[in-house]
Structure 1
């Protein structure tokens, strides 16, 4: 009986490892969505077209700190790192420990910092790493479905965290995300990316 139980456990462990290797980052992303659907917002990572269009307005020569909320499996991380200066920093914040653990193992770049925490604490987090402000903050968090009134709190804290001339970059399935940005950013550029699952609204809120 003990041998049978041990053999069964071993088989399940091997199957889990094989599934993990087969699905790779997609498996991590799907697992994260199942555990925290209201925080992840989508079951499929953003398309390359969304990434390119979202990052297009960034002034990379004058970017020292780029922050991302909810990086998931890092769909934006490598493109951001590829564009950043050698002395710049990419700091990502996520409440999902599975995503943070995955990113810390997957991305080997001295400019990359992954933090397990809440976007609502962005000012404390960047200060803890020696920064006064972020140049740009990117977010795919589903503002309209975040629990405990987190949407307005995150928008307000983000506005405080960004330097003058910087921007809050937001991609969402719902246009209502603009409502959370409007009280804090007078100039908001808008866009739309059809080639994404689902098609999404793009917003760039500029800090005066």
Structure 2
């Protein structure tokens, strides 16, 4: 292949890179969706209305470890860090190395840890970073399209890792995720947010103090 042919082949790559750079985090999110739509679930990040409502029930003064599954380009990360106490920690877990690399480069807060891995391994990840339990776990993972067995494994591991009094915060575009939560969490609060693309279900699964 000649140098001219190589240059022609590289041109589309340069164009895509320029477009991604121009779009900023939206470009990274869109690329992540194109690479693995099953794991990302949506073509655009969550709206501020979803963010505010999801986080509104967190007891921030008593939150020391907040965990997020599928952070994408960090739509929830800064709002969480803005509310998290100075001695708190935010651990985000994603199977997409594109997102993890982006978050590590753009979020410099010492309380922030980005892990390339599976949410099903949350217990090991939490322990590896010096914690026994999480206060809250947030998830936007598309439970209904995950590979067989993954969604139940994530729901079970999440229940085990959350401390008594904590909660599993879930936002989804389909209602099936609630059934996975209900196998473990006895008390689930429901809501729905219309101002999002697409509108989504919101759930808070609470691990009450009197549970075994």
TM over 0.5: yes
Distance 1:49 1:12, change over 3 A: same
User: Aligned to 2:42, what secondary structure does the other structure show?
Assistant: coil
Aligned partners of 2:63, 2:71: CA distance in 1, in Å?
A: 19
Aligned pairs, number: 208
1:75 is the counterpart of 2:75: yes
Aligned to 1:90: 90
Distance 1:174 1:17, change over 3 A: closer
CA deviation profile, 1:113-171 (whole Å, cap 9, x unmatched): 00000000000000000100000000001111110211111000000000000000000
Aligned partners of 1:145, 1:6: CA distance in 2, in Å?
A: 39
Aligned to 1:148: 148
Aligned partners of 1:178, 1:61: CA distance in 2, in Å?
A: 28
Aligned to 2:159: 159
Following TM superposition, by how much is the alpha carbon of 1:3 offset from its aligned partner in structure 2, in angstroms?
A: 3.9
23-32 vs 135-144, greater mean Cα deviation: 23-32
User: Aligned to 1:126, what secondary structure does the other structure show?
Assistant: helix
Following TM superposition, by how much is the alpha carbon of 1:177 offset from its aligned partner in structure 2, in angstroms?
A: 1.3
Aligned to 1:113: 113
RMSD, matched Cα: 1.4
Following TM superposition, by how much is the alpha carbon of 1:12 offset from its aligned partner in structure 2, in angstroms?
A: 4.7
Aligned partners of 2:65, 2:183: CA distance in 1, in Å?
A: 24
Aligned to 1:190: 190
Aligned to 1:172: 172
TM-score (norm 1): 0.95
- For 1:2-13, list aligned pairs within 5 A: 2-5=2-5, 7-8=7-8, 11-12=11-12
Q: For structure 2, list consecutive stretches of 5 or more residues without a partner in the other structure.
A: none
Deviating beyond 2 angstroms after TM superposition, the runs of 4 or more aligned structure 1 residues are 5-17
CA deviation profile, 1:40-86 (whole Å, cap 9, x unmatched): 11111100000000000000000000000000011100000001011
Following TM superposition, by how much is the alpha carbon of 1:7 offset from its aligned partner in structure 2, in angstroms?
A: 4.0
Aligned to 1:204: 204
User: Aligned to 2:72, what secondary structure does the other structure show?
Assistant: coil
1:138 is the counterpart of 2:142: no
Aligned to 2:65: 65
Aligned partners of 1:178, 1:7: CA distance in 2, in Å?
A: 51
Distance 1:10 1:200, change over 3 A: closer
1:103 is the counterpart of 2:99: no
